[in-house]
């Protein structure tokens, strides 16, 4: 894959025939977590390519050459008009092809092809504002929103999460409780009505909850850092292929990322050196690799 001195891709070859898992990690316009996410995918065994969104919007790179599309965190367009709003509008309205085709049309096709989309923090906000999450109605109409934290402040802290056992997304397979950091000002999920809340609950689409020290879902600050409805830290769409979350799993790739690592290692010197966040990337890479091997046989 050809990259220039800034690491930007100019030409992407057709999907690998070697079974490699190809992760596309978008950047540009104030996204700032692309390197950590690419590192996470590489540690998980995938080929990760960081691409400026303009290269996709201008047709130099096709998302269809990849298996998983990732929207990293950051401050796209300076959070003007609300976090994720401008970037979501660019994907929804900017024409990228004949007949008024947009990148959102391509992403819908990408998901219909059985591929995967991950949005972390600002990326999650983009997917929610775009209506790709939770997408209960299947017509990418925004159904919930993410807005200013109930604390009225930017929150930068570690949280504990529980995976909803009803969730069927491969990203969270085998996971139960995990710790990860949050760093956001607009992470409060608002679900506008009881019917939407019920639909999210029934299908396990509210796939991650903030929990307290006792392990129970909580609306109490600071365990729930933003006051999210349903104590929700992450959502999937009904297919489980589109997954977004406010916390940053890519910031916990090594046990040494955790603020309490020294005491934990004293207590348990044999504990794995891997951070809990890496498992999310390993899960999806393994899932895609398995799909590739089934198709190849």
* Structure letter (DSSP) for residue 268: -
With contacts defined by CB under 6 A, name the span among 45-53, 69-77, 201-209, 250-258 that binds ligand GLN. Answer: 69-77
Sheet holding 22-27, edge to edge: 47-52, 22-27, 68-71, 116-120, 242-245, 232-236, 208-211, 155-163, 177-184
With contacts defined by CB under 6 A, name the span among 182-190, 197-205, 216-224, 276-284 that binds ligand GLN. Answer: 182-190
Work out which of 134, 185, 204, 234 binds ligand GLN, going by CB under 6 A: 185
Work out which of 8, 53, 121, 205 binds ligand GLN, going by CB under 6 A: 121
**Considering beta carbons, is residue 183 or 265 the nearer one to ligand GLN?**
183
Catalytic residue among 52, 184, 223, 248: 248
Specify the DSSP element, H or E, that contains 43: helix 34-43
With contacts defined by CB under 6 A, name the span among 111-119, 178-186, 203-211, 259-267 that binds ligand GLN. Answer: 178-186
**Considering beta carbons, is residue 82 or 238 the nearer one to ligand GLN?**
82
User: How many chain residues interact with ligand GLN (CB under 6 A)?
Assistant: 12
Work out which of 83, 135, 164, 167 binds ligand GLN, going by CB under 6 A: 83
**Considering beta carbons, is residue 67 or 186 the nearer one to ligand GLN?**
186
Contact 55, 9 (CB under 8 A): yes
Query: Is residue 237 within the footprint of ligand GLN (CB under 6 A)?
Result: no
d(CA 15, CA 97) in angstroms, rounded, equals 21
d(CA 65, CA 163) in angstroms, rounded, equals 31
Backbone angles phi, psi at 147, to 5 degrees: -140, -170
33 classed as catalytic:
no
Bridge partner list, 160: 179, 211
Work out which of 47, 56, 74, 134 binds ligand GLN, going by CB under 6 A: 74
- Residue 52 in 3-state DSSP? strand
Query: Is residue 150 within the footprint of ligand GLN (CB under 6 A)?
Result: no
Query: Is residue 79 within the footprint of ligand GLN (CB under 6 A)?
Result: yes
Distance from the Cα of residue 93 to its chain's centroid: 22
Contact 231, 182 (CB under 8 A): no
Active site residues per annotation:
121, 248, 250
Q: Footprint of ligand GLN on this chain (CB under 6 A)?
A: 73-75, 79, 83, 121-122, 183-187
């Amino acid at each position: 894959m050809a990259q220039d001195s800034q690491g930007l891709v100019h030409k992407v070859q057709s999907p690998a025939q070697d079974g490699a898992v190809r992760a596309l990690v978008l950047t540009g316009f104030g996204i700032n977590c692309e390197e950590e996410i690419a590192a996470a995918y590489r540690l998980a065994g995938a080929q990760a390519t960081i691409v400026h969104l303009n290269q996709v919007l201008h047709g130099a790179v096709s998302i269809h050459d990849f298996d998983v599309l990732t929207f990293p965190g950051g401050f796209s367009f300076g959070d003007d008009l609300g976090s994720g709003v401008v970037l979501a509008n660019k994907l929804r309205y900017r024409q990228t092809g004949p007949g008024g085709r947009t990148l959102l049309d391509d992403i819908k096709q990408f998901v219909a092809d059985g591929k995967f989309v991950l949005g972390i923090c600002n990326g999650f906000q983009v997917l929610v504002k775009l209506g790709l999450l939770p997408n209960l109605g299947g017509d990418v109409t925004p159904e919930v929103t993410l807005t200013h934290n109930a604390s009225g402040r930017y929150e930068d802290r570690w949280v504990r999460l529980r995976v909803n056992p009803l969730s069927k997304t491969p990203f969270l397979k085998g996971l139960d409780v995990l710790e990860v950091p949050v760093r956001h000002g607009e992470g409060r999920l608002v679900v506008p009505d009881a019917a939407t809340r019920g639909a999210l609950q029934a299908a396990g689409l509210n796939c991650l909850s903030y929990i307290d020290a006792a392990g129970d879902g909580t609306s109490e600050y600071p365990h729930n850092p933003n006051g999210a409805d349903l104590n929700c830290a992450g959502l999937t769409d009904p297919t489980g292929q589109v997954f977004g979350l406010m916390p940053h799993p890519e910031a916990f790739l090594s046990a040494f990322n955790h603020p309490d690592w020294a005491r934990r290692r004293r207590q348990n010197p044999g504990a794995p050196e891997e951070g809990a966040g890496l498992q999310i990337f390993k899960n999806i890479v393994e899932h895609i690799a398995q799909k590739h091997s089934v198709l190849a046989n």
